[in-house]
Amino acid sequence: MAKKKLFGNNIKPSCKYCELGTALDGDKIRCSKMGDVKSYDSCKKFVYNPLKRIPKKELQLANSAVNDIDF
């Protein structure tokens, strides 16, 4: 049985959060293996770095429309 990775086994490879890449201007990444690439590219040398991933923002609930009468 394959070992489950810390952040799941189904992380889509992207140079945006690869350990080998460094962010440049715009959506370009400087990869130590492939040179300058787009942020959405990936290769077989992909190594996931969770510290480079930017989490999605939480959705704000509309609490102003809730009254005590609703409960």
pLDDT digits 0-9 by tens, 18-61: 999 999 988 899 999 999 999 889 889 888 888 888 777 888 77
Q: How big is the CA angle at 28 (ends 14 and 23), to the nearest 5 degrees?
A: 80
The answer as to whether 68 is a domain residue is no
Residue of higher predicted confidence among 10 and 33: 33
Tokens of residue 17, six digits: 């959060």
**Range of the structural domain that residue 15 is part of:** 10-49
CA–CA dist 23, 38 (Å, integer): 10
| Span 7-22, average pLDDT | 84
Domain count, the chain: 1
Q: What is the pLDDT of residue 19?
A: 92
CB distance 45 to 33 below 8 Å: yes
Dihedral, CA of residue 30, residue 52, residue 14 and residue 47, to nearest 10: 90
The answer as to whether 20 is a domain residue is yes
Place 12 in a pLDDT band, splitting at 50, 70 and 90.
Answer: confident
Q: What is the pLDDT of residue 52?
A: 86
pTM of the model: 0.60
* Furthest C-alpha separation in the chain: 62
